[in-house]
Amino acid sequence: MENINWSELGFGYMKTDYNVRCYYRNGKWGELEVSSDEHINIHMAATCLHYGQEAFEGLKAFRGKDGKIRIFRIEENAKRMQRSCEGVVMANLPVEIFEAACKKAVKLNERFVPPYESGASLYIRPLLLGLGEQVGVKPAPEYLFIVFVSPVGPYFKEGFKPTPMVILRGYDRAAPLGTGTIKVGGNYAAGMIPTVKAHDMGYSAPLFLDAKEKKYIDECGPANFFGIKDNTYITPESSSILPSITNKSLMQLAEDLGMKVERRKVLEEELATFEEAGACGTAAVISPILRIDDPDENRTYVISKDGKPGKRCEELYHKLRAIQYGDEPDVHNWVSFVE
């Protein structure tokens, strides 16, 4: 697209040419359908609208120096969507349908995949919805899987800069035995007040503590938390965290860089000991943390003393981006091409 200012793109929705759909009816998934309609026409009594029977994913496609389009870890996203399907009792979506629909959506909207130089990418949003008219609480009889895409800018427009986060003790995102481990809209609804509050207070995101004991670090807004100290990458273990594919990738890269990796409970007090910390997810890869405030307890943990991202965060960030754009060999087989 000649008239898109790629470097000015933010993280938002832009209309593209096509989306890809697949319906589940009479107990089976149908063929992929291509649509240029941005709207869906569904029954007002659909379970996705009333009872939150829905799940989504988020992944990206990147254009390399070689002009080829790469999608990062698509199979992991497909498998995570299957776990989400199970978690809210929806028809299980086969990995092959997930992958084919994403690739088709990217291919059909190829002109929206930003050029290599821009640092931008094409965000892919797969969505699965429970359909069919129903008022009682039970799983839907029909489902719609839909994939749309939108070009998104480099997350850090003013460079890779640490931001402050805040612990808001009056809110929980997910219960220990709830839906925290799956990617469903309900978790975002539960986190909406603390997210807005954190933003209004000048923070980039709320840092959630575990809902039961309020002692351990859980998630960092819509991203996973990690801390670094003594050449060790540490990320919380919890039954209410969504397993981030970015985090999984960073753990592998940390190991490749000769660091130790620990997945274990992280006490809030341990924040004082980290040399570096960040939030990680597909949108930004890493958002380095400047400082974490716990206003209810009158505590502050300064992570970045000089206001800059730490050395390890920088290294991990550049390493992961290099693999995504095809600048470095894909030794772990994370990338698949759109042909």
Give the binding site for ligand PLP (CB under 6 A). 58, 183, 219, 222-224, 242, 244-247, 281-282
Task: State the minimum distance, in angstroms, from the CB of residue 281 to ligand PLP.
Answer: 3
Q: How far is the CB of 58 from ligand PLP (least distance, A)?
A: 5
**Other residues' Cβ atoms within 10 Å of the Cβ of residue 103:** 21
- Of the candidates 327, 332, 324, 181, the residue with the CA atom closest to the CA atom of residue 255: 332
CB of 283 to ligand PLP, least distance (A): 7
| Lookup: tokens for 15 | 């209309």
What single-letter DSSP state applies at residue 216?
B
CB of 45 to ligand PLP, least distance (A): 27
Q: How far is the CB of 117 from ligand PLP (least distance, A)?
A: 24
- State which residue, 19 or 246, has the beta carbon closest to ligand PLP: 246
9-34: b (≥16 Cβ within 10 Å) or e: beeeeeebebbbbbbbeeeebeebee
The owner of tokens 């979506």 is: 93
Structure tokens at 21: 């759909």
The CA distance from 300 to 282, in Å, is 28
Closer residue to ligand PLP, CB minimum distance, 25 or 125: 125
Ramachandran quadrant class, 25 (left: phi over 0; alpha: psi -120 to 50; beta: rest): beta
Q: Quickly tell me which residue has 């309020």 as its tokens.
A: 214
- Residue closer to ligand PLP by CB (options 53, 134) is 53
Nearer of residues 119 and 222 to ligand PLP, judged by Cβ = 222
Q: How far is the CB of 100 from ligand PLP (least distance, A)?
A: 20
End-to-end CA separation in angstroms for the chain: 19
Residue 117 CA, chain-centre distance (Å), reads 23
Rounded to a whole number of angstroms, the minimum distance from the CB of residue 124 to ligand PLP is 11
For residue 220, which phi and psi values (nearest 5 degrees)? -115, 85
Decide the pairing of beta strands 217-220 and 19-25: unpaired
- For residues 204 and 246, which CB has a smaller minimum distance to ligand PLP in the complex? 246
Provide, rounded to whole angstroms, the least separation between the CB of residue 173 and ligand PLP: 7
Alpha-carbon span 10 to 184, nearest angstrom: 24
Q: Which is nearer to ligand PLP, 24 or 145 (CB)?
A: 145
What's the token pair of residue 312? Answer: 């390890």
Output DSSP code: residue 330: -
Which is closer to ligand PLP, CB of 51 or CB of 225?
225
User: Closest approach of Cβ 284 to ligand PLP, in Å?
Assistant: 9
In the complex with ligand PLP, the residue whose CB is nearer, 134 or 246, is 246
The set of residues, in sequence order, having a beta carbon less than 8 Å from that of 126 and lying 6+ positions away, is 56, 57, 59, 77, 81, 98, 101, 102, 145, 146, 147
> β-pairing, 163-166 with 205-209?
parallel
- Output 114 or 222, the one with its CB closest to ligand PLP: 222
